Structure 1
Amino acid sequence: MLDTSARLLRLLSLLQTPRAWPGSELAERLGVSGRTVRNDVERLRELGYPVDAARGSTGGYRLGAGAAMPPLLLDDEEAVAVTLALRTAAQGAVPGTEETSLRALAKLEQVLPSRLRRRVRTLQAYTLAVPDDRPAPTLSADVLTTLVSACRDRERLRFDYLDHTGSATRRVVEPYRAVNWGRRWYLVAWDVEREDWRTFRVDRIQPRTPTGPRFTPREPPGGDAAAYVARGVSAAAWRHHARVTVHAPAAAVAERINPAVGTVEALDTDTCVLITGADTLQTLATYLGMLDFDFEVTEPAELLTHLRRLADRYARSTPPADTRDPA
């Protein structure tokens, strides 16, 4: 049988999993009586751990949220994962959290067993990240927390917003999700005044308090907020847009198209429309060639001209096929 201290740590480790534990199951796991389990639960409560208890067939013991953050027990893999995540955050993955991430990282590395510290330092020494070619936008962790809290609580949000031209507007929205793409964060929200979904860069948002009334959540745009951001942000940056009829089922084309590259709309079982774009006509033509399906370009006219020029070039580069009978 485990001694009292070891048993308490084992009990705490079990309670930190997100489920309710019947007393009988805890007693079996720990090899003790139900009375001992009840006594150990009281000891944890005296140490500041909020252990909730519920009666009934679906009841049991569960670790609740307290006024202060109690110590956590992490297994080896969890400790390594948290350490690496904190190190990534300290390097600016979420601008505005570098200092707090470093403090938490220092505390965690101080108590890591030597075997885990060696693993973490090896990963640190022999892994590299390519620096971003553009500076990360300044992002306030407090602002991000305010936005996601409003999403969680389903409360209308008022904020001042700077668009891409630097013009300031005031918005009233029903926030749905905060989406991370690369080193930028975006808020997907229903714009109350414009009566439509909109995407806002979080680093351009200045929330106003207090938040507004609660709202009934709507279905996310296209059923996927992340794909909505990818499509919207990419399309806004495209210099050339194209509408292409593809002679293939929509499902087959969609398998080859990332949401950030374009959208696919079925016309019938064997034909679909691809709406896509790119910064250059050359890139756009390359995307279409990689589809490996027959297609017809509807617009723009300059893309048609470029494809005809490519077709002529490819024709000149290929010698005529030998149609003579090999016999």
Structure 2
Amino acid sequence: MSRPVSRVLMLLELLQSGGLRTVGELAARLEVDERTVRRYAGHLLDLDVPVESVRGRHGGYRIASGYRMPPLMLTDDEALAVLLGLLAGRRAGLTAATGSAGETAAAKIRRVLPERLGGRLDAVLGSLAFTDQPTTPVVPESSVLLPIADAVRHHRPVSIRYTAADGRPSERTLHPYGLVAHSGRWYVTGRDPAIGEERTFRLDRIAAARVLPGAFDPP
């Protein structure tokens, strides 16, 4: 999903939480300028979302009274699979334990489910126990994970800024072969063409990743 689209959806989420939101407040939450907020509000109007503009010193935007997004149409099995998948990902260390995108996604899905199905899923999640101890994850930044995953998929070299365990920073080129999630940490393995050896790097120690032109032949 492109960033402008995700921010338009975030604007909708903010407005649906209720009340009047000032343009300045929305701009700060979305990390854009006020002109962009007004453009995003126009996008919602184009989608027939009843966004109301309130003028004046304390004006802003709000959703028309009584408007609700339609229920998410999932079968019992589909809804259970999604929520259990998010929960399992958190337990396995694939996402952060608290305050993560997975946690907020689960809350959003739960909020728009039909009441009957939502109650049944709450019963499952409330009565579920695990025999293993939860992993404390070290989740990589999406700005690092996504370009590396793209480079792996398309066999493209990637430039990374890496900090070793002893604190030494370096910048290097990597031909990434694949991503591995193990014991709450993410790794990328590949070939370092500068030294002609295969290496493995922890993603949480990569400060920046950039896909480079060209291609390589994976083993």
Q: Does TM, normalized by the shorter one, top 0.5?
A: yes
1:74 alignment partner in structure 2 = 74
Counterpart contact for 1:162–1:205, Cα < 8 Å: yes
Alignment of 1:242-261 (within 5 A): none
1:130-145, aligned counterparts within 5 Å?
A: 130-132=132-134, 135-145=136-146
Separation (CA, whole Å) in 1 of partners of 2:209 and 2:144 = 10
**Aligned counterpart, 2:158:** 157
Shift of 1:171: 1.7
Query: Which gives a bigger RCO, structure 1 or 2 (Cα 8 Å, sep 6+)?
Result: 2
Tell me which residue corresponds to 2:84.
84
Identity across the alignment (%): 30
Superposed CA deviations along residues 224-250 of structure 1, whole A, max 9, x for unmatched, are xxxxxxxxxxxxxxxxxxxxxxxxxxx
Residue 95 (structure 2) pairs with residue 94 (structure 1)? yes
Measured after TM superposition, the shift of residue 208 of structure 1 is: 4.2
1:83 counterpart SS class: helix
Alpha-carbon distance in structure 2 between the residues aligned to 1:90 and 1:144: 17
Change (3 A) 1:90 1:96: closer
Is the CA contact (8 Å cut-off) linking 2:90 and 2:97 kept in structure 1?
no
- What residue identity is the alignment partner of 2:78? E
Structure 2: unaligned runs, 5 residues or longer:
1-46, 48-70
Q: Is the 1:157–1:212 contact (alpha carbons within 8 Å) kept by the matching residues of 2?
A: yes
Query: Which structure would you say has the larger Rg?
Result: 1
SS at match of 1:203: helix
Verify the 8 A CA contact 2:175 2:193 in the aligned structure 1.
yes
Does structure 2 conserve the Cα–Cα contact (< 8 Å) formed by 1:153 and 1:214?
A: no
Other-structure match for 1:269: none
Q: Hey, what's the Cα distance between the residues in 1 that align with 2:149 and 2:179? A: 6
Alignment of 1:1-327 (within 5 A): 73-89=73-89, 93-95=94-96, 98-129=99-130, 130-132=132-134, 135-209=136-210, 211-219=211-219
CA contact (8 A) 2:190 2:200 kept: yes
Q: In the alignment, which residue of structure 2 is the partner of 1:59?
A: none
User: How far apart in 1 are the matches of 2:102 and 2:214?
Assistant: 33
TM-score, length-normalised on structure 1? Answer: 0.40
Q: CA RMSD in A?
A: 2.9
Opposite residue 212 of structure 1, the aligned amino acid is L
CA distance in 2 between counterparts of 1:180 and 1:94 reads 10
1:198 aligned counterpart, secondary structure: strand
CA shift for structure 1 position 197? 1.6
